[in-house]
Structure 1
């Protein structure tokens, strides 16, 4: 909500309920892929997970591994937590792909520092709850 709350629009937030979030997480966790969380004390401040790549909208995967999600609370940006989460979810230098909101320059720069580059594939928001996105690969 911190990062994309103002970009997703009212319709998304009307549909977004704790029950819906729980169903989504249960689905994501069902494949058994490792998930990583970052704690500061007993506060959850970030998470990341990668999985076998899947088609996204009309785009077939171009790598076997996909970073599905990496999120760090804004108060912890710049602390190295995001880097540690990424390095555990996808080993440094390992070929992978990810989708990132094209209006998130901070995230794009982070992934570029980690060897990812846009490959030209984009999504107009149909797949990502209204957020336009671009695919990055390494």
Structure 2
């Protein structure tokens, strides 16, 4: 582990995680997601949303913290799709660009991926870097596609078998 620590999301980190989430989208999805969508993200709205999720799904979100700043986060739990392809879903995995390749993402994945049980995730189709990262953890494309909720961009599903 590096200079960061991975801890469960608590109320004290919700604002920092919300800022991290917005910054990660702006860093990683420029050119993939329309600029007006990236510009429209509002920290206070994200805080309210993530706080609801934190309360409704305790223990499913972890944050990577360095010097009391959230530099990444991940979330997993039961697969929420109408027709689940797996028992579990990796629903969020974000790390600030300055920390790509440092091991932060590996620590987050270790904290949220179940030791056994199939796991699904959705990733932007036009994001080969993320898809390559997930392949390192045994995820493979399963042929399913859908339009992402906030954008007109396509997502593809990846599965990791039990």
From 105, 108, 117, give the equivalent of 2:128: 105
CA apart distance, 1:78: 0.5
Q: Deviations over 1:45-71 (max 9, x none)?
A: 10001021112xxx6211111001010
Instruction: Map 1:1-138 onto structure 2 (within 5 A).
Output: 1-13=26-38, 15-29=40-54, 30-55=56-81, 60-92=83-115, 94-125=117-148, 127-138=149-160
CA apart distance, 1:132: 1.3
Unaligned runs of 5+ in 2: 1-25
Q: Secondary structure at the match of 1:7?
A: coil
Q: Secondary structure at the match of 2:27?
A: coil
Question: In 2 relative to 1, CA 93–51 (structure 1 residues): closer, same or farther, beyond 3 Å?
Answer: closer
The TM-score normalised by the length of structure 1 is 0.85
CA apart distance, 1:10: 4.0
Corresponding residue pairs, total: 134
Structure 1 residue runs of 4+, over 6 Å off? Answer: none
What is the RMSD computed on CA atoms of the aligned residues?
1.9
